Copies of this chain bind each other. A is one copy, B any other.
């Protein structure tokens, strides 16, 4: 994971441009943009699917609740046309196409602008991040997805179609809640996968503390740093919705935003806990290495200490002095063996006592 690459997807290309300049910053996509419109009331529902902005502009939807989902934000002309039609502020449009925003909520009077990050587990075990923008008006909701990792809102769409739960009977703010809730639910899935990988890495570290498991661990520490960066601002943004400071949020919906706020706090808690656990795992790794060095050291010392005196002794009797009484003794050789065995045993018992063996 390249630390630089995640943040600055060429953000610097915008340097010097006036505010409101629409420049797409993010992963380039060739897919056509999909505009899907769902309008509904407790007892009616209509759905449309467009690929061209003109089709969309020509087919206004007059249901009490209108949800326009745009999949793909790389077509800046489409976003501009849509923004002009509904007179959204240029800064809002700029933030939609710039996919390196941090999660936030902004009150523009007639509508709320919300930016969130959707997390999805990837096949390799990590996770990818996609920016979702919301424009929540009195009777409409626009959602903008990057469209890289597939649509996240199918379950909500199904609930609308099948009129499951109370979603058809509630306003557009409840719809926003349902979608945000779906996004935050995805965080739990990512964290579950993360937790499972942590267990694997920990076992690895305990059994075979080598460089490769260390790199896995360091990689997970980096991921948790990014996760923190993604979830902390979320708390502030959703807390705004929970307080219900805007007229666009009905009292009946507030209790639901409190619920999703609660989930957010739980996500943050878990991220912080994982961070602490990863720090503990690094400590464990380092002390394992220290331990191992110590153990190897002791082995070397024991071997060296046993054989050095013995080698000295045999060296003594390899000398060529003319006058060397012991060499003449009949059982000198066997006596020496006896001495050497005694010395060796002595030292082994000393090391046993010192717990080096």
Chain A positions 138-186 with a Cβ under 8 Å from a chain B Cβ: 154-155, 159, 164-167, 177-178, 181-182, 185-186
Chain A positions 62-110 with a Cβ under 8 Å from a chain B Cβ: 89, 91, 100-102, 104, 106, 108
Residues of B within 8 A of A36 (CB): none
Chain B CB within 8 A of A266 CB? yes
User: Are the CB atoms of B273 and A225 closer together than 8 Å?
Assistant: yes
Given contacts A155-B15, A185-B16, A188-B11, contact A319 B320 (CB under 8 A): yes
From residue A16, how far is it (CB to closest CB) to chain B in Å?
3
Smallest Cβ-Cβ distance to A121: which chain B residue = B12
Given contacts A7-B191, A304-B304, A312-B310, contact A327 B321 (CB under 8 A): yes
Smallest Cβ-Cβ distance to A256: which chain B residue = B19
Residues of B within 8 A of A319 (CB): 314, 317-318, 320, 327, 333, 336
Residues of B within 8 A of A57 (CB): none
User: Are the CB atoms of A308 and B304 closer together than 8 Å?
Assistant: yes
Contact of A332 among B211, B312, B322 (CB under 8 A): B322
Chain B CB within 8 A of A338 CB? no
Chain A positions 287-332 with a Cβ under 8 Å from a chain B Cβ: 287-294, 296-301, 303-305, 307-312, 314-332
User: Are the CB atoms of A308 and B314 closer together than 8 Å?
Assistant: no
From residue A292, how far is it (CB to closest CB) to chain B in Å?
6
Contact of A333 among B269, B303, B324, B331 (CB under 8 A): B324
From residue A138, how far is it (CB to closest CB) to chain B in Å?
20
Q: Choose, from A37-45, A125-133, A195-203, the stretch at the interface.
A: A195-203
User: Are the CB atoms of A199 and B4 closer together than 8 Å?
Assistant: yes
Given contacts A188-B8, A289-B287, contact A266 B102 (CB under 8 A): yes
User: Are the CB atoms of A91 and B318 closer together than 8 Å?
Assistant: no
Residues of B within 8 A of A301 (CB): 296-297, 299-300, 303
Residues of B within 8 A of A166 (CB): 18, 20
Smallest Cβ-Cβ distance to A189: which chain B residue = B12
Chain B CB within 8 A of A345 CB? no
Chain B CB within 8 A of A285 CB? yes
Residues of B within 8 A of A21 (CB): 165
User: Are the CB atoms of B317 and A280 closer together than 8 Å?
Assistant: no
Residues of B within 8 A of A226 (CB): 273
Residues of B within 8 A of A182 (CB): 15-16
User: Are the CB atoms of A255 and B108 closer together than 8 Å?
Assistant: yes
Chain B CB within 8 A of A259 CB? yes
Q: How far is it, in angstroms, between the C-alpha of A5 and the C-alpha of B285 when the chains are bound?
A: 22
User: Are the CB atoms of A8 and B225 closer together than 8 Å?
Assistant: no
Contact of A311 among B199, B256, B308 (CB under 8 A): B308
Chain B CB within 8 A of A50 CB? no
Q: How far is it, in angstroms, between the C-alpha of A298 and the C-alpha of B206 when the chains are bound?
A: 19
Chain B CB within 8 A of A348 CB? no
Q: How far is it, in angstroms, between the C-alpha of A317 and the C-alpha of B314 when the chains are bound?
A: 8
* 5 examples of A-B residue contacts, CB within 8 angstroms: A102-B262, A225-B276, A289-B290, A299-B305, A300-B301
The 10 A-B pairs at the shortest CB distance, nearest first, are namely A4-B195, A16-B155, A18-B165, A314-B315, A317-B319, A307-B308, A8-B192, A321-B333, A318-B318, A300-B301
Query: Given known contacts A18-B167, A226-B273, what 15 new A-B pairs fall within 8 Å (CB)?
Result: A16-B155, A18-B178, A19-B256, A91-B255, A214-B284, A222-B277, A303-B304, A307-B309, A310-B312, A317-B321, A318-B318, A319-B327, A320-B327, A321-B329, A323-B330
